[in-house]
Amino acid sequence: RSEDVMLTGDLAWRAALALDNARLYRESQQAIQARDEFLSIASHELRTPITALRLGIQRLFRIARGGAEPPWKTVAASLDGVERQGKRLTLLIDSLLDVSRLQSHHIQLDLEEVDLSGVVRDVVAQLGSVLARTHTPLSLRADTPVVGQWDRVRLEQIVTNLLDNAIKYGAQAPIEVTVALENGAAVLTLRDRGIGISPERMPFIFGRFERAVSSRHYGGLGLGLYIVRQIVELHGGTIQVESSPGKGSTFTVRLPRG
């Protein structure tokens, strides 16, 4: 009798172990697949600005070798392109570095008194040329100062990443950006009327290396929202998203004022 019980217990234990092994195996296969996919996306994403950079530099070389009076408009446009692609490359590499720093908890916040409204106005101004180029209208409500103890550079990163996405996935429809104070906390809202996010994708968008197949032709490493969420949480804040496919998305960041 007692042997029977032991045997049953042993069998149950073995079955549980086998199930666990199967789960671990499946998960490691999925992780390997995600890593391979990420490597191919990352190589492609890094290659694109490098190719554009080289083309711009070759154009400038040809002009310089031509000997005649340079067509200054073309020179300026090429230099502008080179600068833009260089910046894009830096941002891509910075986000890769940020992910490994966040993973190993090596990011320290440099807290100081910051006005979130001012930061948002600056970022919108910095992205002005992208808004113009993509014909995206933007309405901004960030007139009253909302001051707190935050890391200015990281705050800029949050706003830049979210606004970048709103433009990228925004289908050129108007974007609304608002900064407000609610129950003593700072609230940043970005609303776009673009492609939106399907309910099945929702749980994954803040993950590392998460890219929807449908968003692949938009470019990007799939790291932006992961970094945003980590930085928001390092500040003790929260980020929420509401979205419906084809109608658009609203991202809401709440930050305690420290």
Q: Tell me which residues touch ligand ADP (CB under 6 A).
A: 161, 165-166, 169, 192, 194-197, 205, 210-212, 215, 220-226, 249
CB of 135 to ligand ADP, least distance (A): 17
Q: Which residue from 224, 121, 116, 211 is spatially nearest to 166, judged by alpha carbons?
A: 224
Of 116 and 225, nearer to ligand ADP (C-beta) is 225
CA distance 165 to 161: 6
Of 62 and 216, nearer to ligand ADP (C-beta) is 216
Of 117 and 230, nearer to ligand ADP (C-beta) is 230
Contacts of 182 (CB under 8 A, 6+ apart): 254
Of 78 and 123, nearer to ligand ADP (C-beta) is 123
CA distance 192 to 81: 27
CB of 247 to ligand ADP, least distance (A): 10
Q: Look up residue 84 and give its amino acid.
A: R
CB of 29 to ligand ADP, least distance (A): 23
Helix (H, G, I), strand (E, B) or coil at 206: coil
CB of 138 to ligand ADP, least distance (A): 13
Edge-to-edge, what's the strand order for the sheet holding 248-255? 138-141, 175-182, 185-191, 248-255, 238-244
In the bound complex, which residue of the shown chain has the CB atom lying closest to ligand ADP?
220
